[in-house]
Amino acid sequence: MISEVNPAVRGILQARMGSSRLPGKVLMHLAGKTILAHCIDRMKESKIFKTIIVATTTSEHDTAICDEAQRNAVSFFRGPEEDVLGRFLGAMALFPSDIVVRVTGDNPLTDPVSIARCVDELRHGQWDYVAEEGLPFGAASEIITGDALRLIGQLARSPAHREHVTLYLRENPQEFRIKFLKSPAEREGTDVRVTVDTEKDLLRLRSFMGQSILTFHPFSMKDFLDRLRQLKPGAGCADIVGGTGGAKCARMQANGERG
């Protein structure tokens, strides 16, 4: 049960150095900070967390991620590389959680407004899981109750369900109370890609910085999208940043590769 007075809201940020498409991307730099540090900043800007935990692996290569977590004044937990769900459950064992916000370490433009909105909806709507649809690809997070995440841990057996933390829930929606919120028009952008999955993605965001389209002091999704659309009036954002497949991808975006 979620405490109605002061629920423990933990942010769990999954990250590892061994990305298959862009190794070491979470510690690559953007605007003078690592991508991981930007993810942490976005989470802090939501102002709803009791604790933020970087969930990484026991691999020697990921010690650098633990060091970066400490430099940014957040906690870390080290667990299995492939069993990311097990990593989350291990972090929750150390930091008991009523509500968990899942963020992946390749999303430096995670939307703090969306995080706060979804947590509020979950708290007051008696949902097991809440996410926002319509944001740019790579800006969403997933909010889930600690009880639901522990239940998934008991039920999920396949490697895919263990690697992609909420895949079991999304493939078995009848077993959970799920809510998808629609993004307001000012933050809607399903044709905009802002995740960092490849070198091309990183260069795109750096280009936005150079054109003053993207700033981080603090970050505002509305302001970013306004500046992006002013750059090329009348054009679809896909012409500028590359399409992502629309609403279906928006629903799936928070999963990514093994973080």
Same domain membership, residue 163 and residue 151: yes
Each residue of 35-44: pLDDT tens digit?
A: 999 999 999 9
Q: Which of these, 98, 137, 131, lies nearest to 11 by C-alpha position? A: 98
Assess if residue 200 is contained within a domain: yes
Q: Which of these, 183, 175, 94, 87, lies nearest to 132 by C-alpha position? A: 183
Assess if residue 258 is contained within a domain: no
Report the percent of the chain where pLDDT is more than 90: 80
User: Which domain, by its residues, includes 218?
Assistant: 187-244
Same domain membership, residue 87 and residue 40: yes
Q: Is the dihedral of CA 239, 243, 245, 249 positive or negative?
A: negative
Q: Which of these, 196, 78, 23, 197, lies nearest to 208 by C-alpha position? A: 196
* Cα–chain center distance at 237: 22
Report the percent of the chain where pLDDT is more than 70: 87
> What does the DSSP assignment read for 35-61?
HHHHHHHHHHHT---SEEEEEEESSGG
Please report which helix (H) or strand (E) contains residue 109, including its range: none
pLDDT surpassing 90 at residue 152: yes
Same domain membership, residue 179 and residue 195: no
Into how many domains does the chain fold?
2
Assess if residue 3 is contained within a domain: no
Each residue of 188-207: pLDDT tens digit?
A: 999 999 999 999 999 999 99
Same domain membership, residue 95 and residue 50: yes
Assess if residue 211 is contained within a domain: yes
Report the CATH number at residue 65: 3.90.550.10
Report, as an integer, the average pLDDT of 133-139.
97
